[in-house]
Amino acid sequence: MHSLLERQLRRLLSPELRASPELAPLLAAIDEAYRQSDSDRVLLERSLDLSSRELLQANEELRNSSRVLAAGLDDRTGELERALQSLALEMGERLRVQEALTREETKFRLFIEKLPAISYVAEPGNEGRWLFVSPQVETLLGYAQEEWLADPRLWHSRLHPDDAQSAVAEEQRCVRERDQFSLEYRLLTREGRTVWIRDDAIFLPADESQPDRLQGVMFDVTERRLLSDQLVQAQKVEAIGQLAGGIAHDFNNLLTAITGYAELLLHRLGDNHRYARELSEILRAADRATRVTGKLLAFSHRQPLDPRNLDLNTLLIDVDHLLRRLIGERIQLELSLASGPIMVRAEPTQLEQVVINLVVNARDAMPDGGLVRIATARRRVDASGRHAVAALRTGDYVELSVADSGSGMDAETLRRLFEPFFTTKPVGQGTGLGLAMAYGIVQQSSGTILVESELGKGSAFRILLPLSAEKGETLKVRPGALALPGGRERILLVEDDPAVRDFAFSLLADLGYHVMAASDGIEARAIVEREGLEGFQLLLTDVVMPRLGGAELAREIRLLRPDLPVLFVSGYARNEDQIAALLGPRCLYLQKPFAPAVLAAALRRLLEA
């Protein structure tokens, strides 16, 4: 019997009852139940023991997995934190870069807006779109940005007809060669005014977001081109002037001999001689030739002038009546004069001739009538600033303008306008010397002439002369009806032109002088060394000669004989300052050609001083 059952039976039943046969089956069943319970408990305990070990093992595995997971989670959390930190740094850097880009974009936009030029991006070709154009397109060309961007053909349509072909060809070359270009051409503004443009552009090939395009800058170089054209014109005219002056010098030498010999013969033969009339005709022809060379000398800035301070307004008022007779009734003359006296230093007759030539030129441009407007004004010229004018220094100037409503001039005529003998008039209706002479007189008066003209729109000549400054007058001998006084003094004659030298020698000999002649300063120096200076009472010398000129020779001789009179002659006219540099005590200057009477009077004036 199961021990638990037996212990319960002792506690609960008497021995008699425990032995009762009636209870035997029940007790046997209970005993079997206890035993079965023990068996089940043992099995359960074994099962529980196994489950506990498995649970402990699973729990350990779970703890291990948790530790691994926690470690992985820590690692991922660290990585995430580091990634977040990196992202924050990157976002901060991107923000700084974006702010920097915004600042640079603002600076660039301000630069583009303040730049005195048109910045642009455009597709190439006649139909290429303009992708961007800066606001300066309105300032320089008169078109709003939106208007310029809306019309792809606007740039081509505003190209000057003379420049369109070359500008388009250069653009095509740039695109074809994927290169850059720098080109100067003319554009017409909305109002039709012509401006010179320097276009600097580079070709940019297409990318994912942009087509093929040209990116560039267009600068307004109109003022620089005008100054450059003025300088080229001045250099060209100066070169022609040197040629004209050289020709006039040679002609003056020839005319000196022709006039001198003719007057000498007329003086010897008398007015009643049968050849007196022919000699007079020679002198009249020589006088006309002298006037022609005078115009050439004026053009070459070498004509002798007698400048004085004068009021330009008064001069114009004085010639007003003459000008109105010249232009006729079909042309209206309008004077617009600055208030008050407007003083310049010039030779009045020469300045009058300049005005007359310009007005006559305006008249000839208006055969059917029109308007000539003459105006004076004061103007400040800044040689280094916006109001610069080629060949003029900074200072205050007087502007004299002569404008007409005539036919105007093309570019080729403008380029040659001041050349001697250039004229657009029919043969026999003009010499081509009027404007050349005007140019030379103005240049010799320290001024300049500017011209603006377009075909069909008239012309405007602007003369700029400096405000006057007082200067001493230079002594000059002027031709007149003089006798031929002579003397017995000894004269050293120095002249490189044989005809002039022979004429002067003959004249001086006829006047009773004793003459020794030399062909240049070197030969004259040899005569002085051989003969000595004591025997000479006067030096008569040309100024410009090969090897040694007259001025240098006179300086050398004056070192030995400071009191020796000197008479300078020259076929090149000198301005006041140059003449003053030659002149000293007992010195005179004669401009070729000169008459025998003038030479004779000058000699006596020096010798008797």
Each residue's pLDDT tens digit, 332-366? 999 999 888 889 988 887 788 889 889 988 998 89
Average pLDDT in the 575-586 region?
64
pLDDT band at 104 (very low <50, low <70, confident <90, very high): confident
Tens digit of pLDDT for each residue in 159-189?
999 899 999 999 999 999 999 999 999 999 9
Picking from 340, 341, 336, 342, the residue whose alpha carbon sits closest to that of residue 465 is 342
Average pLDDT in the 425-445 region?
68
Question: Do the domains 117-220 and 226-299 sit in the same CATH topology, yes or no?
Answer: no
The lowest-confidence range among 297-306, 397-406, 528-537 is: 297-306
Beta-sheet pairing, 490-494 with 538-542: parallel
Q: What is the pLDDT of residue 372?
A: 94
CB neighbours of 425 closer than 8 A, spacing ≥ 6?
Answer: 364
Instruction: Give the type of residue at 101.
Output: L
Dist CA 551 CA 484 (whole Å): 27
Q: What is the CATH number of domain 226-299?
A: 1.10.287.130
Strand arrangement of the beta sheet that strand 213-220 belongs to: 130-133, 117-122, 213-220, 194-204, 180-188
Residue by residue, DSSP assigns 11-62 as: HHS-HHHHT-TTTHHHHHHHHHHHHHHHHHHHHHHHHHHHHHHHHHHHHHHH
**Strand ranges, E, within 58-116:** none
CB neighbours of 96 closer than 8 A, spacing ≥ 6?
Answer: none
Is-contact 323 361, C-beta < 8 A?
no
pLDDT band at 428 (very low <50, low <70, confident <90, very high): very low
Is-contact 388 227, C-beta < 8 A?
yes
pLDDT band at 548 (very low <50, low <70, confident <90, very high): very high
CATH architecture under which domain 490-607 falls: 3-Layer(aba) Sandwich (3.40)
CB neighbours of 314 closer than 8 A, spacing ≥ 6?
Answer: 341
CATH fold group of domain 117-220: Beta-Lactamase (3.30.450)
pLDDT band at 475 (very low <50, low <70, confident <90, very high): very low
Q: What is the pLDDT of residue 97?
A: 83
Mean pLDDT, rounded, of the chain = 81
Half-sphere exposure of 213 (CA within 13 A, CB side): 15
Domain 308-466 falls under CATH 3.30.565.10: yes
What are the domain boundaries of the chain? Answer: 3-105, 117-220, 226-299, 308-466, 490-607
Average pLDDT in the 35-54 region?
74
Dist CA 179 CA 131 (whole Å): 20
Assign 582 to helix, strand or coil. Answer: helix
Q: What's the predicted TM-score (pTM) here?
A: 0.42
Picking from 295, 258, 332, the residue whose alpha carbon sits closest to that of residue 596 is 258
